[in-house]
Amino acid sequence: MTRPPKPKTRRAPAPGAVQLPAVVPPPLDPSQDHPAEAFDRASRGALARLVGGVSPPAFIKAWSEWAQHLALSPGRQLELAEHAQRNLLKVMAHAASPGSPPPFEPKPFDRRFTHAGWQSLPFAAWQQGFLSVQDWWDHATEPVRGLRLEDAERTRFLARQTLDVLSPSNSPLLNPEIIEETVRTTGRNLTDGAAHFAHDAVKILTGQRDPPPEGYRIGTDLACTPGQVVFRNDLMELIQYAPQTPQVQARPILIVPAWIMKYYILDLSPENSMVRYLVGQGFTVFMISWMNPTAEQRNLSLEDYRERGVMAALDTVNAIVPDVPVHAVGYCLGGTILAIAAATMARDGDDRLASATLMAAQVDFAEAGELLLFLDESQIAFLEDLMWEQGYLDRPQMARAFAAIRAEDLIWTRAVRRYFLGREDVATDIGVWLSDTTRMPALMHSQYLRALFLENRLTAGRFAVEGRVIALKDLSVPLFVVATETDHIAPWRSVYKTQLFTDCDLTFVLTKGGHNTGILSEPGHAGRYFRLSHRPTGALYTGPNAWLARTGTTPGSWWPAWSEWLMTRGGGLVEPPTMGAPERALPPLGPAPGTYVLQA
């Protein structure tokens, strides 16, 4: 293992500084618990695995609160009865007038009823009946006086999950597309679907993974931008990518990806690789590749990811490209830990950053969208019990929560296609990446959920690093913040709030797409557009709705605008740096994509 020299710009904590305690979750090591408590946690952990980490008490409480408040609201009950009657009459009128415009439309992300057969009777009546019930429950679970918004949203979520199970699109006898396919193939689709179901069930029970399909091998087809691993510790590898231009911008780029998935979402296929694009634009690019933790790393902390991840990578970049500031880029959770690291550096007078780019990254979690449905004390305690015995949170366990938010498309549409239509999943680069799951250490994930999601300490002025509070207001480097329109993991209005908690020069981009597809917006991608605005240092805050109303769209990819923004701060053209720095005990350790990305 090699370790670069520490920079001289770091400062020790000031004597007598006011300190805040770090977030310390309950013990996550079975050896530290009383036998009775260990038995309880093991029991709750077993239940948590069965229900996907969702706390039954939290959702039972939400149902109970909703029902009690509704019982005390007779006027609301009458209104709901009238609403049900109106919906029934609309469905009956539509069934009696074939060809008339349907009174209810599926939600924008709901693709269960796209087949033409749903427009003719009797399928149209079944579809409209289902959508009318869905509309009624959406109305019924709106907040009433005295009911907490969180309880109303949880009740709506549970109602939607129940309705999704009962949707006519899930039934081979009620779905016209399944009936049509069954007739066409004389039932072959159902036998193929049964084989797919058996295959998937075995994978889930055994924890096995399918090998990457032909044409999607990591290091050959994906994550294939040339480079070298130039640093490695027990937490991450640092990749330096080979230059592709005779000269490069003097200031290098360090990318901090999320540890929730493998880094190569940003170096996917050659045609949509952000890394390849940046190198082609004349930048020296470094990328963190996180290791995939096991139970032995259960006690890795959020501070470890900052210090031995982000800061160790920055030290290495400074050793290879000395005496110039670095453009830091963070994606998703990587953007959050980068913001924490940058604020810590600002507090300590560490001026090694030239700029910071935050992509689909939140610093304030008060409006973190439907993920907040899964996060309160009961939910987090349930997840901690799930992690208590195994030492980590496995990505499939969390993926179920993400999928449930868009269950119509991410669960049921795929299930119908695979198990009733008998169709194989179409191999795509992003699909292979999504299936290449990772784990998260128990202690780090518990700290992350408690300190950021549950207590929102970072923007509340209560997040401490090395015992002292940090503040985003201390940031003085230029920020480039990217949000995506349909992001259900980091909603764009939540990402936009970075402007509320900083005063520095800030460029904000809202781009078409979701959490992953909006970031992968390479030039030439059809149908892309983005909105861009600049807020100078010290400017007054503008709310997201007012900003949206006054900011027009620009067709195409946002990458060229970002590249131009980086170039204006690039420091001029110089000869490319060496790969690694052997004279500083940082020789190349092997070709990209390294070894950690291959860990299962």
pLDDT at 15: 41
pLDDT at 8: 40
- Rounded average pLDDT over 173-200: 94
Q: Which residue has the higher pLDDT, 17 or 394?
A: 394
pLDDT at 1: 42
**Residue 3 pLDDT level (bands cut at 50, 70, 90):** very low
Best CA proximity match to 228, nearest among 159, 281, 276, 287: 287
pLDDT at 19: 46
Q: Does the pLDDT at position 96 exceed 60? A: yes
Q: Does the pLDDT at position 7 exceed 50? A: no
Q: Which residues touch 142 (CB under 8 Å, ≥6 apart)? A: 152
Q: Which residue has the higher pLDDT, 406 or 573?
A: 573
Q: pLDDT by residue (tens digit) across 573-596?
A: 999 999 999 999 999 999 999 999
Q: Does the pLDDT at position 272 exceed 90? A: yes
Lowest mean pLDDT among 143-147, 491-495, 546-550: 143-147
Total Cβ atoms within 10 A of residue 439: 25
pLDDT at 486: 92
pLDDT at 550: 96
pLDDT at 134: 95
Token pair 């970031």 is at which residue? Answer: 519
- Rounded average pLDDT over 71-95: 94
Lowest mean pLDDT among 117-131, 181-195, 424-438: 424-438
Which residue among 332, 342, 451, 519 is the active-site one? 332
Q: Does the pLDDT at position 274 exceed 80? A: yes
Active site includes 332? yes
pLDDT over 90 for what percent of the chain?
68
| Three-class secondary structure assignment of 74-139 | HHHHHHHHHHHHHHHHHHHHHHHCCCCCCCCCCCCCCCCCCCHHHHCCCHHHHHHHHHHHHHHHHH
**Residue 27 pLDDT level (bands cut at 50, 70, 90):** low
pLDDT at 33: 61
- Rounded average pLDDT over 11-40: 56
Lowest mean pLDDT among 38-52, 149-163, 326-340: 38-52
- Rounded average pLDDT over 161-182: 94
State the pTM of this model.
Answer: 0.87
Amino acid at 418: R
Q: 564: buried, middle or exposed (CB in 10 Å: 19+, 13-18, 0-12)?
A: exposed
Domains and CATH numbers, the chain: 56-206 (no CATH), 227-404+428-598 (3.40.50.1820)
Lowest mean pLDDT among 242-256, 411-425, 477-491: 411-425
Q: Does the pLDDT at position 292 exceed 70? A: yes
**Residue 70 pLDDT level (bands cut at 50, 70, 90):** very high
Q: Does the pLDDT at position 14 exceed 50? A: no
Q: Does the pLDDT at position 566 exceed 90? A: yes
pLDDT at 150: 82
The token pair at 426 is: 């179409």
CA–CA gap between residue 430 and residue 262 (Å, rounded): 11
pLDDT at 186: 94
Q: Which residue has the higher pLDDT, 148 or 21?
A: 148
Q: Which residues touch 254 (CB under 8 Å, ≥6 apart)? A: 286, 287, 288, 313, 314, 317, 326, 327, 328, 329
Total Cβ atoms within 10 A of residue 525: 16
Q: pLDDT by residue (tens digit) across 225-241?
A: 999 999 999 999 999 99
Token pair 């030039």 is at which residue? Answer: 523
pLDDT at 52: 66
**Average pLDDT of every residue of the chain:** 89
How do 439-441 and 227-232 pair as beta strands? unpaired
**Residue 32 pLDDT level (bands cut at 50, 70, 90):** low
Residue 596 vs residues 109, 117, 231, 335, 400: alpha-carbon distances, Å:
35, 48, 12, 20, 25
- Rounded average pLDDT over 358-365: 96
- Rounded average pLDDT over 189-203: 92
* Local structure of 253: helix, strand or coil: strand
The token pair at 535 is: 């807020």
Q: What angle do CA 279, 284, 286 make, to 5 degrees?
A: 100
pLDDT at 441: 92
Beta bridge partners of 394: 439
Torsion of CA 518, 519, 523, 524, to 10 degrees: -30
Q: Does the pLDDT at position 35 exceed 60? A: yes
Q: Yes or no: say if 120 and 336 are a contact pair by the CB < 8 Å rule.
A: no
Q: Does the pLDDT at position 193 exceed 50? A: yes
Q: Does the pLDDT at position 180 exceed 80? A: yes
Q: pLDDT by residue (tens digit) across 417-471?
A: 999 999 988 889 998 998 888 888 999 999 998 899 889 999 999 999 999 999 9
Q: Yes or no: say if 514 and 486 are a contact pair by the CB < 8 Å rule.
A: yes
Residue 380 has what DSSP assignment? H
Q: Is 332 left (phi over 0), alpha (psi -120 to 50) or beta?
A: left
Containing 449, the helix (H) or strand (E) segment is none
Q: Does the pLDDT at position 475 exceed 50? A: yes
pLDDT at 13: 44
CA–CA gap between residue 477 and residue 479 (Å, rounded): 6
